[in-house]
Amino acid sequence: MPSYFRHIVHFLLVAMMMMSITSCARWREAKAVVAEADRLLVNEKRITRDTAALNAAIKTLKGPVGYLFAKQELAKAYYFMGRNFYYLNDFSTASDYYILCDRLNPKDPLYKGRINSCMGYLCKQDSCFEEALEFYERANEAFYESGDERRYAIGLLSIAEQHINLKEYARADSILQIADNYEIDSAYYAMLLETRGMYFFGLQQYDSALTYLLSIENYPRPIEAKCYSYMKIMQIYIRQNNYELADKYACFIIEQTKTPNYKTNAYYTLLRIKEKSNDSRYLANLSYLRKDEDIKIRYESEAYAQTAIKLKAYLENPHPYRNLYILIFGGGIALLLLVALVYAPHKRWRNTLECQDKERQNRRELFERKLFDHSVHFMCSDIWEDTNHLREKANNYCDNIFYRLEDTFHLREHEIMICLMVLMNFSRDKMAAYLHVLPNTISKSKSKIAKQLGTTSGDLREFLVDFMLS
C-alpha cells in the first residue's frame, strides 16, 4: 500500500472515531437534560425553563437512531418544550409539541396523562368542551393506569366540569359522586366543592351554588383559583340583585387576578352597579379599563382558537401521514411482487439456459474425447486411400459424419474428408500428405468449404463440432 494511501485511511479512521466520540457526548448531554427536567418535575413540582438546552436535546434525539433507542426521552423532551411555550403564552407552538409527544405514545402512563390533560385544558379555553372532554378522558385512563390516585381524582373533576359546560348535568352528577369517595387532601376537597358549586350554578340553583362556593373561601388555594370562584359568586349576587356583595367581590378580583377574562367580568359588573351614578369620570375610567382587558382577551382568544383547530384536527386524524406510509409500503410490496413475477420466470429461463449450456458443454467434452480416442484409427495413410473403408469407420466413430454432411450441405467426398481431418485437429501438412495435394490446396479447400457452410476458415472446426452435436 502506498504511503499516501495509508495516510488517507488513517485520517478517515481518526475522523470516524472523533465523530463517534462527539456523537456519544451529545447523546449523553441530551439525555442528561431530559433527566434533569424529569427530576425537577418529580421532586420540585416544576420543569426546566432552559428552552435552548431542550431544543438541542431534541435535535440530537429525533434522528432515526433516537426513534429506535431514545423514543421515551424524546417524548419527554417534547412535553417539557410544550410546557415552556405554554408559560410563554405561545399556545399554538405548545400544542405542536404536545402533539409530537403524544404521537410517540409515551410508555410512562403518567406522562401520557399529563400530555392529554394539557391538550384538554387548551381546548377548554376555546370552549371546545367536547374535544376537551375526550382529552381529559384519555388523560384519566392513563392516570388510572399509573396508579396516581390524586391525579385520577382531579381528572374526574375535570371530566365533570366538561359535562357541566355541555349541560350534561346527570352525567356530571354521577361523576361527582364518584369523585366524592376520594379523600386526598384539603386542596382536592376545595376543588370538589368548587365543581359542585359550578354544577348548581349551571342548574341555576344559585343558593346551593353559593353554599358550596362560599364554603371554600378559607381553604388555601392559588389566587387565580380563588378569583375564578369569586367571579361565579359575583355573578350570582348580581342575578340576586345583591349589588353590595357583588361590588365587594368585583373589587377583590380586579385587585388580585392577572386573568383578563376575570377582570373584564369584574369591570362589567361594576359598570352595571355604578351605571346610575353621576360620577361620569369614574364610569369612563371603568369603561376604558374594561376595553383594555377586552383587547387582551381577543388576543388570547385568537391564540386559543388557533390552538384548538390544531387539536381538533389531531383528534380527527392523529396520524395524518399514516395513509401515505401505507401507500408507500403497499406500493413497495406491489413493486416487489411485480419484480418477483418478472424475475421468477426470468430466473427459470436463465436457469434453463444455464442447464442447457452446461449440458451442451458436457456433450461437447464427451464428443471431443471421442474424437481424440478414435483419432488413432485415422492416423494411417492407408485408410485415406480406401474411401469405402474410411466412410465406414468415420460413420461408426464420428456419428455418421459422411451421411450428415452429404444430406445437409451436399458436400462431396473429398470435402467431407477434409472436414473429418479438421475435426481430428490434423495439421495442414498432414492433411496434404494424406490427400496427396499441396498445403496451399488444403487452405483453399478449407476456405471454400467454410464459405459453403456459412462460416470462416478459422471457425470451421467450431462450426463442425456444433453441427455434430446438434
- The string of DSSP codes covering 181-243 is T----HHHHHHHHHHHHHHHHHTT-HHHHHHHHHTTTTS---HHHHHHHHHHHHHHHHHTT-H
The CB density around residue 131, as the number of other CB atoms within 10 Å, is 22
pLDDT at 279: 66
Query: pTM of the predicted model, to two decimals?
Result: 0.64
pLDDT at 25: 67
Distance CA 161, CA 151 (A): 15
- Locate the domains of the chain by residue range: 353-469
DSSP at 400: S
Contact 31, 73 (CB under 8 A): yes
Of the candidate ranges 62-76, 222-236, 301-315, 452-466, the one whose mean pLDDT is the lowest: 62-76
pLDDT at 321: 61
Residue 160 has pLDDT above 50, yes or no: yes
Residue 14 has pLDDT above 50, yes or no: no
Q: What is the torsion angle, in degrees rounded to the nearest 10, for the CA atoms of residue 191, residue 192, residue 195 and residue 196?
A: -150
Q: Which three cell numbers stand for residue 227?
A: 378569583
Count how many Cα atoms sit within 13 Å of the Cα of residue 378 in the half-sphere of its side chain. Answer: 29
pLDDT at 277: 63
Q: How many helices (H) does the chain have, and how many strands (E)?
A: 22, 0
Residue 66 has pLDDT above 70, yes or no: no
CA distances from 193 to 29, 169, 176, 219 (A): 46, 16, 10, 11
Question: 394-409 pLDDT, tens per residue?
Answer: 888 788 888 888 888 8
Q: Which of 118, 212, 215, 226 is nearest to 164 (CA)?
A: 212
Distance CA 79, CA 106 (A): 10
Distance CA 240, CA 234 (A): 10
Contact 143, 113 (CB under 8 A): yes
Contact 120, 135 (CB under 8 A): yes
Q: Which residue has the higher pLDDT, 91 or 340?
A: 91
Question: 244-264 pLDDT, tens per residue?
Answer: 999 899 999 988 988 888 888
Residue 96 has pLDDT above 50, yes or no: yes
Q: Which residue has the higher pLDDT, 8 or 280?
A: 280
The CB density around residue 102, as the number of other CB atoms within 10 Å, is 23
**What is the arithmetic mean of pLDDT over 87-107?**
91
Q: Which three cell numbers stand for residue 410?
A: 451436399
Residue type at 361 in one-letter notation: Q
Task: Using alpha carbons only, give the angle 255, 256, 261 rounded to the nearest 5 degrees.
Answer: 95
Q: Which three cell numbers stand for residue 329?
A: 409500503
Q: Which of 87, 149, 75 is nearest to 116 (CA)?
A: 75
Count how many Cα atoms sit within 13 Å of the Cα of residue 375 in the half-sphere of its side chain. Answer: 15
